[in-house]
């Protein structure tokens, strides 16, 4: 594709080569859409599964469910895939479908701006170069910028400081005094992994998570052969795992007897493992199950009862050259500090400035909370599409199910766009506002908004992260693309194009 100046323009630019970007690229090729390029900031595919190499890194969704339905893997080695295995799976997908030749590695998009007159997106890269695309798909996810809390004196600490998302594999923790700050998803994996080798381990907890047993185990070679020979059996297993995940949604949607039952199971598991009543009280959540992410681990609680582990619930007041100081006046001497404090979610859902029609800035538009239509398109930002945009996070099941739902919608959008010329699509504002008003209304009375301090919520208590219902309802919501929900703007005169919308969508 060429613009009127003769320079090469991609029909579609995909930013990110993780699950979202690779999945979309595979499905585009399968449906005859080959005019695309993938921009990836790193030197390999994999996204978070390339970057998160901390000890114990693994998925908390069953492997057969945490993979593409159109690219099943019969050779998963465990019920829950470890980081290396998931990264290997994504590399396999890229190689099998010959995507590497479509990927521009080590290419960071530093700015995006839509040009009203050309109907194209201008992409500026960190090296100063630029390219254009008719449509842009942001498939970078929101969890890629490590979050470091502001702690007085941290810059004075003389020991090692690192984040689980930026793990230094050349640094050994063996026989060292280590502090782990945070008790979220990465903490419950890294703590059991490093506990046996460190001299002492100080776990600094602000809010205890709900933890349930994971029941992780190796998958035998015989089972792998079974899945290879009869793929239908693997599909049945995947379907069963999906239905099991969906079955817990009512416990999260409403604070009911199902919520109480889940909490009872969580407390029973805690009592079974942790005999010390003082420690058990520290580890008991004081909020409704589901308000924050429920974590799965067979090893977290057992690691906390070891003699070289201390759980600290007093708030951190400051850090000096060799210790972490807590509010009770104690100093905890450590050689290394590991932050397991999650990620900083950019306001725009992307680490770069994004400018839409008339130069409007997405970060400014989303100051009071991000909004998109079905988590995919945004009014005022034509031909910009998100994979895992606002309110498409799973509270209970595999993110891959949501990604595939979005891919199906995006494919219909791109096919419709390709049948037009000199026209771009801009979501009608009323469509977006009505959709998001309904989303927020459905959150009322759910455990997700029951009052705990969660990264799911904005400072004003608005949930812009999760889908407030069953994932199959999201699949239904994204099954159809309606061109009538978008303004069709002519590049030549910048007015709404009078075209037969239904004919375009159906052709």
pLDDT-derived band at 498 (thresholds 50, 70, 90) equals very low
**Does one domain contain both 26 and 139?**
yes
54 in any annotated domain: no
Do 319 and 357 lie in one domain? The reply is no
Of 27-41, 52-66, 218-232, 357-371, least confident by mean pLDDT is: 357-371
Which CATH number characterizes residue 421's domain? 3.50.50.60
Domain match, 13 and 133 both: yes
Residue pair 274/306 in contact by the 8 Å Cβ criterion = no
pLDDT of residue 253: 79
**Which neighbouring-strand residues pair with 64?**
none
Residue 245 and residue 172 share a domain: yes
- pLDDT tens digits, one per residue of 105-123: 999 999 999 999 999 999 9
| pLDDT tens-digit map of 125-171 | 999 999 999 999 999 987 778 889 999 999 999 999 999 999 999 99
Q: Residue 81 in contact with residue 59, Cβ under 8 Å?
A: yes
Spatial distance between the Cα atoms of 386 and 377, rounded to a whole number of angstroms? 6
Range of 490's domain?
9-45+99-145+345-506
**Claim to verify: residue 233 and residue 311 sit in the same structural domain:** yes
Mean pLDDT of 472-483: 96
Binning pLDDT at 50, 70 and 90, where does residue 505 land? very low
- 94: confidence class by pLDDT, cuts 50, 70, 90: very high
Place of tokens 């010390």: 276
**Rounded distance, CA 313 to CA 204, Å?**
6
Give the whole-angstrom CA distance, residue 391 versus residue 369. 11
In the listed set 339, 369, 389, which residue is the last one of a domain according to the structure?
339
Q: Mind listing the pLDDT tens digit for each residue in 304-337?
A: 999 999 999 999 999 999 999 999 999 999 999 9
Number of domains in the chain: 2
Mean pLDDT of 30-37: 96
Match 């469910």 to its residue by tokens.
65
Question: CA-CA distances (angstroms) from residue 27 to 9, 33, 141, 274, 416?
Answer: 21, 8, 19, 48, 16
- The reply to whether 359 falls in a domain is yes
Give the residue-averaged pLDDT of 405-423.
94
Same domain for 257 and 369, yes or no, is no
Q: Of 312, 339, 366, which closes a domain?
A: 339
User: What per-residue confidence (pLDDT) applies to 325?
Assistant: 97
The two tokens of residue 158 are 């003389």
pLDDT for 159-206, tens place per residue?
Answer: 999 999 999 999 999 999 999 999 999 999 999 999 999 999 999 999
Residue 222 banded pLDDT, cuts 50, 70, 90: very high
Is position 173 within any domain? Answer: yes
The reply to whether 237 and 332 lie within a common domain is yes
Query: For position 4, what pLDDT does the model report?
Result: 46
* Mean pLDDT in residue range 44-51: 96
Position 451 in a domain? yes
The answer on 276 and 167 residing in a single domain is: yes
| Domain C-terminal end among 294, 309, 339 | 339
Give the number of residues written for the chain: 507
Do 118 and 175 fall within a single domain? no
Q: Within a domain: residue 59?
A: no
Residues 6+ apart with CB under 8 A from 159: 322, 334, 335, 336, 337
Which of 114-118's residues contact partners 24+ apart within 8 Å by CB, and which partners?
Answer: 114/355, 114/356, 114/357, 114/381, 114/382, 114/383, 114/384, 116/357, 116/358, 116/494, 117/491, 117/494, 118/3, 118/4, 118/491
Are residues 295 and 383 part of one domain?
no
Residue 90 falls within a domain, yes or no? no
Beta strands of 16-159 (E only): which ranges?
36-39, 103-104, 109-115, 120-125, 130-138
Whole-model pTM: value is 0.93
Give a yes or no: residue 122 inside a domain: yes
- Same domain, residue pair 381 and 247: no
Query: Taken in order 331, 336, 337, 338, is the CA torsion positive or negative?
Result: negative
Query: Rounded to an integer, what distance in angstroms lies between the CA atom of residue 116 and that of residue 105?
Result: 29
- How does pLDDT run across 270-287, given as a tens digit for each residue? 999 999 999 999 999 999
Residue 497 belongs to a domain: yes
In this prediction, residue 206 carries a pLDDT of 94
Instruction: Judge whether residue 255 has pLDDT over 90.
Output: no
Distances (CA, A) of 24 to 108, 179, 280, 377, 486: 19, 40, 45, 16, 22
The band of 507, judged by pLDDT with boundaries at 50, 70 and 90, is: very low
Considering the domain architecture, whether residues 493 and 423 belong to the same structural domain is answered as: yes
């Amino acid at each position: 594709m060429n613009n009127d100046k003769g320079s090469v323009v991609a029909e579609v630019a995909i930013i990110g080569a993780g699950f979202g970007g690779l999945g979309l690229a595979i499905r585009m090729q399968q449906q005859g859409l080959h005019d695309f390029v993938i921009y990836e900031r790193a030197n390999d595919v994999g996204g978070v599964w390339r970057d998160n190499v901390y000890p114990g890194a693994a998925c908390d969704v069953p492997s057969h469910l945490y993979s593409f339905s159109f690219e099943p893997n019969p050779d998963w080695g465990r019920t829950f895939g470890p980081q290396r295995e998931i990264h290997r799976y994504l590399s396999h997908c890229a190689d099998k479908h010959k995507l590497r030749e479509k990927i521009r590695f080590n290419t960071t998009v530093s700015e995006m701006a839509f040009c009203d007159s050309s109907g194209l997106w201008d992409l500026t890269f960190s090296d100063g170069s630029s390219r254009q695309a008719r449509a842009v798909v942001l498939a970078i996810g929101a969890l890629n910028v490590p979050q470091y809390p502001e702690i007085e004196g941290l810059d004075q600490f003389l020991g090692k400081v690192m984040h689980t998302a930026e793990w230094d594999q050349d640094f050994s923790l063996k026989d060292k005094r280590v502090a782990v700050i945070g008790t979220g998803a990465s903490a419950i994996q890294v703590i059991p992994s490093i506990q046996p080798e460190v001299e002492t381990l100080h776990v600094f907890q602000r809010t205890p998570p709900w933890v349930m047993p994971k029941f992780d185990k190796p998958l035998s070679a015989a089972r792998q052969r079974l899945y290879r020979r009869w793929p239908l059996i693997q599909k049945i297993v995947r379907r069963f795992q999906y239905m099991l995940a969906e079955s817990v949604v009512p416990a999260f949607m409403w604070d009911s007897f199902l919520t109480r039952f889940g909490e009872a199971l969580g407390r029973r598991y805690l009592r079974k493992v942790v005999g010390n009543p003082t420690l058990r009280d520290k580890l008991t959540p004081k909020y409704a199950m589901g308000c924050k992410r429920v974590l799965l681990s067979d090893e977290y609680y057992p690691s906390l009862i070891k003699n070289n582990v201390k759980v600290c619930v007093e708030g951190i007041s400051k850090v000096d050259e060799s210790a972490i100081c807590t509010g009770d006046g104690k100093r905890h001497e450590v050689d290394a500090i590991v932050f397991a404090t999650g990620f900083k979610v950019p306001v725009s859902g992307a680490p770069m400035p994004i400018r839409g029609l008339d130069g409007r800035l997405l970060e400014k538009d989303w100051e009071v909370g991000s909004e998109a239509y079905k988590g995919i398109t945004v009014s005022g930002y034509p031909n910009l599409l998100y994979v895992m945009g606002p309110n498409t996070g799973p509270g209970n099941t595999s993110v891959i199910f949501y990604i595939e739902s979005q891919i199906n919608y995006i494919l219909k959008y791109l096919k419709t766009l390709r049948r037009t010329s000199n026209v771009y699509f801009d979501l009608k504002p009323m469509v977006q506002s009505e959709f998001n008003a309904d989303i927020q209304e459905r959150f009322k009375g759910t455990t997700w908004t029951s009052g705990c301090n969660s990264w799911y919520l904005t400072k004003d208590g608005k949930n812009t992260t999760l889908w407030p219902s069953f994932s199959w309802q999201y699949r239904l919501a994204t099954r159809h693309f309606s061109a009538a929900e978008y303004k069709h703007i002519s590049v030549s005169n910048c007015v709404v194009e009078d075209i037969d919308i239904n004919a375009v969508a159906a052709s």
